[in-house]
């Protein structure tokens, strides 16, 4: 007689374990625990929040806020009554940043405790596809198991082997937060989002800034007119941008750093910030033990449900690469949780993900650029509003910038919103909300027929809409 198969269910410590407590890990953990699952998170650092809270998004934006207020103060004739400009040191503005980080950690830590999510503070590595080893800072170890796992370990700055990041004058976007001296000059290698944001910060503090761009234009994924505006603003403020350059060597000295470019140029500054790319945090997870592979930049491949090659293991956030945004990572975590709970079979990130670049001034966009529409042969028209003509911008002494609406010539459907100037990352969401509407609700005429508070920056939409419609014939 054949022996009956056992139907005994394996007893795991948890239903789901999430590795990482950044936006992606938090989004997944909260969604899963609200659904009644037994959830644990493993965070290798002593506090929750991940790189977003401690080294990336929150610190850089808090630094930027302090510096932008300093710039505003010095440029406003109401306050600037002396010949000597007000100054702040990097250490000064770090105090505000530290407080913001502390408040964010307290807030996010409360989410886990209130929702009975167990938090392990140690380094996780795979034993098998259901089992993790946790190495604690004191040298002790613990083994935990779960039916399913989510990898949300984020990313870290890319560090080429021939650059000495142990030198006291050479930094990446994580270690720059430990800057103790007051540089009079800085070289920023890499003119992506991080490089441009820190160029604004250090220029606002009065530093001489050399920005080295390995490509032929700044932020080429953004609308060209907006990035041209940023380039001009950088040039006008004294930032030197060198396009199409790559380093030959980076030499740390006692009194600074010497950068030699492949083009033969040499330059020296008090310090150097290397901000050229990021790497997924997969190298310490032992993924090879379970047959999981990462690409050359440490990123994991996932399907549309955020599952990896291993059926019970999902991955979200920066560790899977594009779009590498905190906002998208949080949504990815929640969407992945929906699939794990069998709540969804179709849910995906929205197609038009907004982008915010926190330079001084800000840039933000959602939807298609002019270059993309032209390449696709889509007939479009442009509506523009210059901030210098808006009463609210005049009142706030922030005339730099503009709003641009791209819309279809025939249907008048909104195709893209692009904004440069103070509060751009907020302003763009008004256009995004209308773009997400269905049918006739998603047309530029909405902004003509609605009533805006006056004076507001939102009024730029009405001005831009009228400008665009007047171009039609």
Residue 301 known to bind ligand: no
Residue 291 annotated as part of some ligand binding site:
no
Distances (CA, A) of 145 to 14, 18, 38, 161, 201: 6, 11, 12, 36, 45
Q: Is 254 annotated as a binding residue?
A: no
Residue 369 labeled ligand binder: no
Does residue 317 have a known ligand-binding role? no
**140 among annotated binding-site residues:** no
Is 91 annotated as belonging to a binding site? Answer: no
First vs last C-alpha separation in the chain: 86
Residue 438 known to bind ligand: no
333 is in an annotated binding site: no
C-alpha atoms less than 13 angstroms from C-alpha of 112 in its C-beta half-sphere = 28
Tell me if 45 is assigned to a ligand binding site. Answer: yes
Tell whether 432 is in a known binding site.
no
Q: What are phi and psi of 264, to 5 degrees?
A: 100, -10
Q: Is 344 labelled a binding residue?
A: no
Query: How many C-beta neighbours within 10 Å does residue 208 have?
Result: 16
Can you tell me which residue has the tokens 């083994």? 143
318 is in an annotated binding site: yes
196 is annotated as contributing to ligand binding = yes
Query: What is the DSSP track for 300-320?
Result: BP--TT-B-SSTTEEE-GGGG
Note if the bond before 323 is cis, omega within 30 degrees: yes
The tokens describing 470, both together, are 């007047």
Q: Is 271 annotated as a binding residue?
A: no
Q: Are 388 and 394 in contact (CB under 8 A)?
A: yes
State how far the Cα of 60 lies from the Cα of 275, in Å rounded to an integer.
Answer: 13
Q: What are phi and psi of 259, to 5 degrees?
A: -110, 125
153 is in an annotated binding site: yes
Is 148 annotated in some ligand binding site?
no
State which H helix or E strand residue 247 sits in.
Answer: strand 247-253
Question: Is residue 190 part of an annotated ligand binding site?
Answer: yes
Report the candidate in 462, 377, 398, 290 with the shortest Cα–Cα distance to residue 69. Answer: 398
Q: Would the annotation count 52 as a binding residue? A: yes
Find out whether 383 is annotated in a ligand binding site: no
Would you list which residues are annotated within the binding site?
A: 43-52, 61, 153-155, 190-197, 277, 318
Residues comprising the binding site for FAD?
Answer: 43-52, 61, 153-155, 318
Which residues are known binding-site members for NAD(+)?
190-197, 277
């Amino acid at each position: 007689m054949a022996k009956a198969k056992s139907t005994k269910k394996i007893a795991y410590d948890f239903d789901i374990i999430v590795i990482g407590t950044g936006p992606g890990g938090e989004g997944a953990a909260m969604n899963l625990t609200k659904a009644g699952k037994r959830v644990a998170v493993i965070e290798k650092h002593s506090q929750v929040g991940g790189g977003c809270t401690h080294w990336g998004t929150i610190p850089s934006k808090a630094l930027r806020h302090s510096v932008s207020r300093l710039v505003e103060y010095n440029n406003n004739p109401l306050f600037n009554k002396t010949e000597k400009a007000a100054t702040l040191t990097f250490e000064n503005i770090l105090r505000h940043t530290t407080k913001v980080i502390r408040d964010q950690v307290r807030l996010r830590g409360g989410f886990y405790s209130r929702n009975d999510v167990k938090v392990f503070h140690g380094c996780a590595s795979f034993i098998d596809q259901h089992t993790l080893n946790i190495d604690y800072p004191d040298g002790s170890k613990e083994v935990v198991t779960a039916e399913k796992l989510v990898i949300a370990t984020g990313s870290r700055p890319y560090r080429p082997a021939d650059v000495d990041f142990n030198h006291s004058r050479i930094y990446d976007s994580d270690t720059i937060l430990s800057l103790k001296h007051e540089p009079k000059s800085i070289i920023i290698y890499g003119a992506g989002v991080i490089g441009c944001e820190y160029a604004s910060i250090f220029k606002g503090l009065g530093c001489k800034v050399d920005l080295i761009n390995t490509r032929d234009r700044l932020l080429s994924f953004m609308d060209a007119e907006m990035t041209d505006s940023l380039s001009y603003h950088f040039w006008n403020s004294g930032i030197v941008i060198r396009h199409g350059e790559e380093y030959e060597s980076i030499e740390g000295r006692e009194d600074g750093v010497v950068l030699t470019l492949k083009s033969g140029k040499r330059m020296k500054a008090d310090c150097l910030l290397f901000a050229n790319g990021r790497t997924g945090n997969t190298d310490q997870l032992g993924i090879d033990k379970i047959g999981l592979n990462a690409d050359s930049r440490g990123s994991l491949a996932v399907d549309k449900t955020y599952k990896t090659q291993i059926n019970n293991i999902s991955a979200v956030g920066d560790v899977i690469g594009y779009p590498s945004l905190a906002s998208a990572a949080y949504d990815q975590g929640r969407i992945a949780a929906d699939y794990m709970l069998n709540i969804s079979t179709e849910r995906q990130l929205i197609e038009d993900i907004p982008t915010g670049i926190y330079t001084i001034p800000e840039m933000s966009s959602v939807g298609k650029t002019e270059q993309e529409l032209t390449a696709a042969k889509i007939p479009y028209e442009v509506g523009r509003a210059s901030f210098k003509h808006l009463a609210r911008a005049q009142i706030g002494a922030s005339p730099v910038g503009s709003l641009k609406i791209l819309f279809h010539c025939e249907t008048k459907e909104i195709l893209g919103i692009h904004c440069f100037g103070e509060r751009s990352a907020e302003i763009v969401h008004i256009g995004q909300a209308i773009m997400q509407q269905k049918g006739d609700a998603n047309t530029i005429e909405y902004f003509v027929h609605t009533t805006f508070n006056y004076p507001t920056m939102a009024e730029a939409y009405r001005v831009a809409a009228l400008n665009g419609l007047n171009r039609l014939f």
